[in-house]
């Protein structure tokens, strides 16, 4: 909502200039109508009342409390989803009445549209700026994640072939991604160790499956990067076969976290990896890295694009986690997500 501590009927000049630019290219949504649109556009509308049962109303209230939103915002979101599915449009601006906001400065913009467009963009900007994952975690889950990675993490094994894979002793999570996506940096951030995983400026230096453990229930696996590698083709083929064997026969593998550079989003090289994970029916989830280097609005757009692509892959976990090993953003949430995953496997 637009709120500011100013005299009535005044709007900050910078704010007005910003929203004039944001709303300059709006066009009416192409909806089937019973009557033709008027030649002169106005903001007049009609009220349509719909009665719902007490049971539905109570269920909506419980859902609002769970999601920590108002009933108005919940119904507004549902209305936007309906319009999006009905029209096929993924970019919507929906107007709502503004009580007691008769400002001459906003007359040319249409106050109703200004209100909701502000809500929509502000929500995206805040979510991206804070780099919050879609799913929420309780304090207990965040603490469980902290404890999970608070131990003395050490290198335990390396496997360059299927026969050299270490015995399965507990749940494992593996990190995959394009070469130089930041896997080593993320492992170091997760474990709180600056030099646990070797960081190289040369893509493709990780040529084996590297196993790390703190002596507890979890093992973290660093997988060779794909898409580029400074190695001979026969060696690349050998460790690719090792990866396939690991995916096919590792019953202890709980999930693959596929890292994607937030600055670039999905690339053609990611497709084959997702295909391999899908054929192996391995649960996988995308984690954005280097989010500190991306503007909030751009990050929000990338998250939506990736989540749309994931909807076509049954083995993919639908929510994207956004992280930065540089400033630590999203690391507690990633730890909590892994702790939640391990807890779910016990059930």
pLDDT, mean over the chain: 77
Look at residue 22 in the predicted model and tell me its pLDDT.
66
More confident residue, 229 or 214: 214
Domain residue ranges of the chain, discontinuous segments joined by +: 13-22+48-130, 139-345
pTM above 0.75, yes or no: no
Average pLDDT over residues 194-199: 78
End-to-end CA distance of the chain: give it in Å, rounded.
43
pLDDT digits (tens, 9 = 90+) for 128-183: 444 444 568 899 999 999 999 999 999 999 988 888 899 998 999 999 998 888 89
Alpha carbons 89 and 84: distance in angstroms, whole number: 5
Residues ≥6 apart with Cβ < 8 Å to 144 = 336, 339, 340, 343
Instruction: Residue 258: name the closest of 230, 228, 226 by CA.
Output: 226
Look at residue 321 in the predicted model and tell me its pLDDT.
92
Reduced to 3 states (helix: H, G, I; strand: E, B; else coil), residue 195 is coil
Look at residue 110 in the predicted model and tell me its pLDDT.
43
Q: What's the CATH superfamily of 139-345?
A: P-loop containing nucleotide triphosphate hydrolases (3.40.50.300)
Is 150 in contact with 336 (CB distance < 8 Å)?
no
pLDDT digits (tens, 9 = 90+) for 68-110: 777 877 888 888 777 777 666 666 777 665 444 444 444 444 4
Is 208 in contact with 197 (CB distance < 8 Å)?
no
Alpha carbons 3 and 207: distance in angstroms, whole number: 55
Residues ≥6 apart with Cβ < 8 Å to 225 = 177, 178, 179, 180, 181, 183, 203, 204, 206
Alpha carbons 64 and 75: distance in angstroms, whole number: 10
Alpha carbons 264 and 277: distance in angstroms, whole number: 21
Look at residue 275 in the predicted model and tell me its pLDDT.
87
Task: List Cα–Cα distances, 3 to 82, 98, 103, 116, 123, in angstroms.
Answer: 28, 12, 13, 13, 15
Residue carrying structure tokens 């709303």: 23
Average pLDDT over residues 191-212: 73
Is 284 in contact with 255 (CB distance < 8 Å)?
yes
Reduced to 3 states (helix: H, G, I; strand: E, B; else coil), residue 270 is helix
Task: List Cα–Cα distances, 261 to 176, 205, 265, 312, in angstroms.
Answer: 12, 18, 6, 21
């Amino acid at each position: 909502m637009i709120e500011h501590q100013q005299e009535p009927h005044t709007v900050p000049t910078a704010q007005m200039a910003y929203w004039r630019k944001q709303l300059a290219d709006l066009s009416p949504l192409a909806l089937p109508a019973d009557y033709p649109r008027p030649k002169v556009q106005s903001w007049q509308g009609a009220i349509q009342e719909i009665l719902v049962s007490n049971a539905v109303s109570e269920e909506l209230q419980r859902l609002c409390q769970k999601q920590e939103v108002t009933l108005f915002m919940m119904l507004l979101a549902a209305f936007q989803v309906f319009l999006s599915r009905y029209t096929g449009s993924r970019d919507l601006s929906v107007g709502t009445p503004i009580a007691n906001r008769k400002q001459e400065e906003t007359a040319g913009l249409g106050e109703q549209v200004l209100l909701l467009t502000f809500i929509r963009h502000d929500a995206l900007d805040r979510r991206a700026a804070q780099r919050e994952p879609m799913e929420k975690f309780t304090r207990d889950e965040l603490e469980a994640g902290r404890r999970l990675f608070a131990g003395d993490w050490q290198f335990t094994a390396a496997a360059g072939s299927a026969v050299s894979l270490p015995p399965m002793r507990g749940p494992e999570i593996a990190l995959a991604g394009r070469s130089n996506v930041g896997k080593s940096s993320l492992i170091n951030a997760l474990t709180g160790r600056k030099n646990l995983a070797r960081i190289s400026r040369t893509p493709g230096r990780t040529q084996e499956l590297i196993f790390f453990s703190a002596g507890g229930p979890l093992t973290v696996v660093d997988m060779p990067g794909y898409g580029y590698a400074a190695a001979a083709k026969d060696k690349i083929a050998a460790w690719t076969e090792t990866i396939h064997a690991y995916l096919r026969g590792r019953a202890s593998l709980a999930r693959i976290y596929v890292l994607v550079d937030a600055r670039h989003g999905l690339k053609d090289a990611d497709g084959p990896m997702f295909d391999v994970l899908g054929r192996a029916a391995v649960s996988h989830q995308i984690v954005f890295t280097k989010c500190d280097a991306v503007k909030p609005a751009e990050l929000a757009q990338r998250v939506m694009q990736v989540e749309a692509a994931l909807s076509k892959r049954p083995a993919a976990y639908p929510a994207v986690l956004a992280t930065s090993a540089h400033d630590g953003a999203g690391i507690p949430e990633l730890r909590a997500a892994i702790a939640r995953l391990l807890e779910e496997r016990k059930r």
